[in-house]
Amino acid sequence: MIPLSSYLIVGAILFVLGMIGFLTRRNMILMFLCAEMMLQGVAINLVAFARHHGNLHGQVFTLFIITVAACEAALALALILMLYRTKKSLDVSLWQELREPGQEAILDLDEPVPELPREEPLPHLTPSGIAPPQKREDSYV
């Protein structure tokens, strides 16, 4: 028999982890997923309370959370797509225009990212069934 408090602890841990992720990760999609994880923590709480009190209200709340999360997902996706179209990047730090006038933008100048070793490019193969391109002087035209 697991008492209520244990579930609440798990919920709190998930909530806090999601919060830390939301604060630190800069990819907008990851930020969103972290927010969803916070919701998961809350959902655990609610379901545990439903069990504790012996009624279904907590579960119904969770259902509504899922509903709202779905709406949120739709809108967030749309927004992220639009933001991506403008800046060609998912980095949330590129959006700093709403700072105080005269304030310097915050740039990542402290630690340059080390160059990843370039992967060997895959060879481009001629698609099967089509004649390979020929040089101009060899053409029959």
Query: 101 or 132, CB closer to another protein?
Result: 101
Site for another protein in 56-75 (CB under 8 A): 56-57, 59-60, 62-64, 66-75
Site for another protein in 12-31 (CB under 8 A): 12-14, 16-27, 29-31
Least Å distance, CB 86 to another protein, is 12
Site for another protein in 76-135 (CB under 8 A): 77-82, 84-85, 89-93, 95-100, 103, 105-106, 108, 111-114
Contacts 24+ apart (CB under 8 A), 20-27: 26/91, 26/92, 26/93, 27/90, 27/91, 27/92
Closest to 40 (Cα-Cα) out of 74, 65, 6: 65
Handedness of CA 124, 125, 127, 133 (dihedral sign): positive
Least Å distance, CB 65 to another protein, is 10
User: Total residues at the site for another protein (CB under 8 A)?
Assistant: 88
| Integer Cα distance of 15 and 119 in angstroms | 38
